[in-house]
Amino acid sequence: MLGWDAVGVVESVGPDVTLFKPGDAVYYAGDITRQGSNREFHLIDERIVGAKPASLDFSHAAALPLTTITAWEALFDRLKVSAEGKDVGKSVLIIGGAGGVGSIGIQLAKRVGKLQIIATASRPESAKWAEDLGADHIVNHFEDIPKQMQAIGFAQVDYVLIFNDTDKHFAAAAEVIKPQGDIASIVENARPVPVELLKQKRPRSTGNSCTRAMYKTPDMIEQHKLLNETARLIDAGIIRTTIGRDLGRSTPPICARRIACSKKGARSASWC
């Protein structure tokens, strides 16, 4: 997303920085409280920065930070799916499977969480994309989702991730979630969510919005850790970048960014 994701090389660091040094290649996503990453110079807290995947070039790495943070936190922090694969065999419905967050979410759910995945996609191209990423089954989110799931043997699932249109899909999520299951949405709702649909099954329902960076929460360092773990998974060939098409450089060319990281107090940073 233009203005959110960034990849670059550390130019300088503040006196309290311990995680990076000048010359390190890094990647990260910012937050909506500050100006975006489409700027010449950047100032960024080291706790939300990860080491760039060594196997990816800058453009392929730049496709990852924001969507990865969103999917990771929704799956492992909000739904409490085990990142050690202890929930192997459980099922998840990913609504919006071919989108940016869905594309990394499918891979994390499949290859890290070891889940069975039903993903939604509406076109043959997007259905194939989701399947290539690891989805076991595809249903069309423009049609009756519960009916389609019953047809493939999944009347209910353990988890639901809503990555597209909460207003439209919340009722379907409530219908297919197992009793005491878990639902997470990353999409703002325009109307009141009909939580009464959850009364009998009593699932947990939560939202997700990359809160750590925005509010400087005490566990901000977890964002650094998850980006580093994603880089490890990328470099090990377990998951892959979700870039669709590289549009190339702008005119004049945009150089590889240089970033200064800081931890506390005054911060200084620069891009090239």
Checking if the pLDDT of 22 tops 90, the result is yes
**Alpha helices (H) along the chain:** 58-62, 65-72, 100-107, 124-133, 145-151, 166-176, 211-215, 221-235
For the chain, domain boundaries: 5-63+213-262, 82-209
- Cβ atoms of 8 and 25 closer than 8 Å: yes
Checking if the pLDDT of 241 tops 60, the result is yes
**Average pLDDT rounded to a whole number, residues 159-164:** 96
- Give just the sign of the alpha carbon dihedral 124, 138, 105, 115: negative
Strand partners, 46: none
DSSP calls for 227-270 = HHHHHHHHHTTSS-----------SSPPPPEEEEEE-SSS----
What pLDDT digit, counting tens, does each position of 193-239 carry? 888 888 888 877 777 667 888 888 999 999 999 999 999 999 999 99
pTM score of the predicted model: 0.88
Nearest 5°: the CA angle 201, 204, 205 is 110
Burial of 230 (0-12, 13-18, 19+ CB in 10 A): buried
For the domain made up of 5-63+213-262, give the CATH fold: Quinone Oxidoreductase; Chain A, domain 1 (3.90.180)
Quote the distance between the C-alpha of residue 183 and its chain's center.
Answer: 16
What pLDDT digit, counting tens, does each position of 243-272 carry? 877 777 654 443 344 454 544 443 333 332
What local confidence, expressed as pLDDT, does residue 1 receive? 45
Helix, strand, coil % over all residues of the chain, rounded to 5: 30, 20, 45
Checking if the pLDDT of 166 tops 60, the result is yes
What pLDDT digit, counting tens, does each position of 8-18 carry? 999 999 999 99
What local confidence, expressed as pLDDT, does residue 2 receive? 58
- 73: which DSSP letter? I
Identify the CATH number of the domain defined by range 82-209: 3.40.50.720
Across all residues in the chain, what is the average pLDDT? 88
